[in-house]
C-alpha cells in the first residue's frame, strides 16, 4: 500500500498517480460509520459507492486532488440512505479544511488569480473563501481604542474614511465611505470610548458631527497639514492665473520651478532662493502670494489659541485685493472651523503620517486591479506580520507559597520574611508568559510600507 503522503490520519491512501503538474491520490475513509446518520440505529449495510474529488494543499509545487471512494449506506431501521462523512473536509466546499485555511491566509498577501492557479480552482472560489476568512478574523481581531484618534480620508477606489491610532502610527479601520451615518455607526460600536481624548481630522462636517454625537467629551483638533495645505493651494491658483501672460517657454519654466514656490523659505538652497527672487521680482502678484503663504505658515508657531487668533487676524488684514480671491477658501475655512483649528495650539495632535497611506493605496490598487473594496481593506487591516503589538503584564500580586517546600517554614505576611526566600520561591505570576495580555494597536504603517516595497503584499 502506498505511503500516506497526505499526512491525514483519517484516510488510507490506496493509489498515487503523478504527472508534470498534479498529484492524483486515491484514498478511503479509515473508519467507516457504525450508525445511521438519520436515526442513529446500528443496523446499516453497504448500498453502493461514488468517487468524490477533494482538493488539498499543493505539494512539491504540484496541485493535489484526493479521489475518495465514498461509501453509501442504507439503514435497516428507517430505510434511509446516506454517504459516509468525509473527515477533515470543509462542509461548504469540496476541499480539505487545511486548504481552506491556507487559502484564506494566503489571500491576504497574494492575488486571487495566483492562488487559484496554484491550487487548481477558479478565482471565484478563492474570493468566497477569503470573504469567509475575513468574517472570522473580524470576530477575533480587536484593536485597542486609541487615546489620540485620527479620522482622515484615503482614496481606495473612491474616498473612504480611515481611522488611525496617532500615538502608535497605526491604522485601526477603513470604512466603506466617509458619510456621517457610516462614521457614527462605527464609533457607536466601539467599547471604551471614554479613553478617546483627542480626535484629529480634516475639515469634513460629517466627521465632526459624528464625533460630537458619539464622543462628546473628546477634543476635536483640525489637522494642521490640512489647513496649511490650503495656503499652498492658494499660491497655486495665483501661479496658474499668470500663465496667460507668459510665453510658452516662460510657462514651462514656471511649471518647472513650482516646487520652489511651495517650499518653505527657510528650507531653500541658495540656488532656489535665487530662482524664487527672480519670479517674485518679475511677477509682483506671485511674490505677494508667496509672502502670504509663508506668513500663514508662521501662524502655526503660536504658543496658544489666543496668539494664533491674533496672528490670523493680522494676516487677514494684510491680504491685498489682487490675491484675496485666491485665499478666500482658506479664510472661509479658518472662520468656519476656528475653535477646532485653534485646539491644535493646546493639543498639537496631527495624523499627517496617514497621508503616506494614499501612496500605499495607489500601489495596492495597481497590484490588485479588479479587487473589491472589501478585499483591499482586508489586505491592509489583516496583513500578516504588520500588526503593532505589545505585551502587558498584569499587576504584581504576591503569590501564596505553600509550605510543601522541604526545609522552609514560610511566612507570606511579612515582607522581610518573604524576601529572605530563595528567588525561585518568590516567582510571581508576572513571570508567566501565559498571563501576559497582548495589546494590538492596529496595522503599523511603516511595517506595511516596507512589506509593500518588498513585494510581500
Rg (CA), the chain: 33
Query: What is the tens place of the pLDDT at every residue in 301-359?
Result: 999 999 999 999 999 999 998 899 999 999 999 999 999 999 999 999 887 666 566 66
pLDDT at 358: 63
Sign of torsion over alpha carbons 418, 419, 422, 427: positive
Query: Measured between alpha carbons, how far is 278 from 94 in angstroms, rounded to an integer?
Result: 73
Write the pLDDT tens digit of every residue in 14-62: 999 999 999 999 999 988 898 999 999 989 998 999 999 999 999 999 9
pTM as predicted:
0.73
Lowest mean pLDDT among 179-193, 312-326, 386-400: 386-400
* 363 Cβ neighbours under 8 A, 6+ residues apart: 452
All three cell numbers of 442, joined, read 492596529
Quote the pLDDT of residue 405.
44
And the C-alpha cell for 390?
505589545
**Mean pLDDT for all residues in the chain:** 84
Grid cell, residue 216, equals 462628546
Q: Which residues pair with 159 in a beta bridge?
A: 155
For 266-286, give one letter per residue: b (16+ CB within 10 A) or e.
eeeeeebeebbeebbeebebb
Is the pLDDT at 91 greater than 50, yes or no?
A: yes
**What are 139-174's pLDDT values in tens digits?**
888 899 999 999 988 877 788 999 999 988 889 999
> Which residues share a beta bridge with 389?
440
Give Cα separations from 214 to 46, 126, 204, 411 (angstroms): 63, 38, 16, 52
Q: What is the pLDDT of residue 52?
A: 93
81 burial (CB, 10 Å; 0-12 / 13-18 / 19+) is middle
d(CA 326, CA 332): 12
Output DSSP code: residue 215: -
State how far the Cα of 257 lies from the Cα of 239, in Å rounded to an integer.
Answer: 11
> How many CB atoms neighbour CB 176 within 10 A?
14
pLDDT at site 377:
86
Measure Cα distances from 276 to 104, 236, 253, 268, 328 in Å.
Answer: 55, 14, 12, 9, 24
How far, in Å, CA of 370 to CA of 42, rounded?
A: 53
So what's the pLDDT on residue 408? 43
Question: Sorting pLDDT into bands at 50, 70 and 90, what band is 211?
Answer: very high
In terms of residues, how long is the chain?
Answer: 457
Q: What is the pLDDT of residue 231?
A: 95
Whether residue 368 is predicted with pLDDT greater than 70 in this model: the reply is: no
Comparing 411 with 446, the larger pLDDT belongs to 446
Element (H, E) at 190: none
Average pLDDT over residues 414-424: 46
pLDDT band with cut points at 50, 70 and 90 for residue 87 = very high
Amino acid at each position: 500500500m502506498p505511503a500516506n503522503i497526505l499526512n491525514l490520519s483519517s484516510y488510507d491512501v490506496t493509489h498515487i498517480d503523478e504527472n508534470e503538474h498534479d498529484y492524483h491520490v486515491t484514498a478511503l475513509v479509515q473508519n467507516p460509520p457504525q450508525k445511521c446518520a438519520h436515526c442513529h440505529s446500528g443496523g446499516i449495510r453497504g448500498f453502493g459507492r461514488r468517487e468524490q474529488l477533494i482538493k488539498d494543499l499543493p505539494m512539491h509545487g504540484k496541485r493535489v486532488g484526493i479521489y475518495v471512494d465514498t461509501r453509501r449506506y442504507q439503514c435497516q431501521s428507517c430505510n434511509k440512505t446516506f454517504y459516509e462523512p468525509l473527515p477533515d473536509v470543509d462542509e461548504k466546499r469540496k476541499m480539505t479544511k487545511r486548504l481552506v485555511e491556507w487559502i484564506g491566509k494566503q489571500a491576504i498577501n497574494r492575488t486571487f488569480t495566483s492562488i487559484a492557479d496554484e491550487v487548481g480552482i477558479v478565482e471565484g472560489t478563492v474570493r468566497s473563501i477569503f470573504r469567509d476568512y475575513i468574517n472570522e478574523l473580524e470576530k477575533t481581531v480587536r484593536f485597542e481604542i486609541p487615546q489620540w484618534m485620527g479620522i482622515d480620508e484615503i482614496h481606495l477606489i473612491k474616498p473612504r474614511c480611515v481611522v488611525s491610532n496617532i500615538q502608535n502610527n497605526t491604522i485601526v479601520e477603513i470604512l466603506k465611505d466617509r458619510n456621517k451615518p457610516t462614521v457614527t455607526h462605527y464609533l457607536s460600536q466601539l467599547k471604551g470610548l471614554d479613553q478617546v481624548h483627542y480626535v484629529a481630522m480634516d475639515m469634513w462636517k460629517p466627521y465632526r458631527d459624528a464625533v460630537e454625537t458619539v464622543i462628546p467629551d473628546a477634543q476635536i483638533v483640525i489637522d494642521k497639514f490640512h489647513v496649511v495645505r490650503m495656503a499652498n493651494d492658494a499660491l497655486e491658483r495665483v501661479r496658474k492665473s499668470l500663465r496667460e501672460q507668459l510665453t510658452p517657454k516662460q510657462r514651462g519654466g514656471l511649471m518647472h520651478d513650482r516646487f520652489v514656490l511651495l517650499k518653505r523659505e527657510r528650507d531653500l538652497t541658495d540656488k532656489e532662493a535665487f530662482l524664487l527672487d527672480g519670479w517674485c521680482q518679475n511677477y509682483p502678484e506671485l511674490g505677494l502670494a508667496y509672502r502670504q503663504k509663508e506668513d500663514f505658515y508662521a501662524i502655526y508657531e503660536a504658543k496658544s489659541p489666543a496668539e494664533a487668533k491674533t496672528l490670523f487676524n493680522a494676516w487677514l488684514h494684510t491680504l491685498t485685493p489682487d490675491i484675496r480671491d485666491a485665499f478666500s477658501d482658506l479664510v472661509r475655512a479658518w472662520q468656519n472651523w476656528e475653535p477646532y483649528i485653534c485646539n491644535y495650539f493646546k493639543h498639537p495632535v496631527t495624523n499627517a503620517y496617514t497621508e503616506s497611506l494614499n501612496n500605499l493605496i495607489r500601489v495596492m490598487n495597481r497590484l490588485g486591479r479588479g479587487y473589491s473594496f472589501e478585499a483591499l481593506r482586508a489586505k491592509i487591516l489583516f496583513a500578516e506580520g504588520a500588526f503593532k503589538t505589545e505585551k502587558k503584564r498584569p499587576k504584581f500580586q504576591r503569590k501564596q507559597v505553600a509550605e510543601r517546600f522541604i526545609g522552609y517554614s514560610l511566612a507570606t505576611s511579612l515582607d522581610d520574611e518573604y524576601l529572605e526566600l530563595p528567588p525561585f520561591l518568590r516567582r510571581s505570576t508576572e513571570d508567566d508568559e501565559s498571563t501576559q495580555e497582548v495589546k494590538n494597536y492596529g496595522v503599523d504603517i511603516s511595517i506595511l510600507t516596507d512589506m509593500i516595497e518588498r513585494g510581500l503584499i
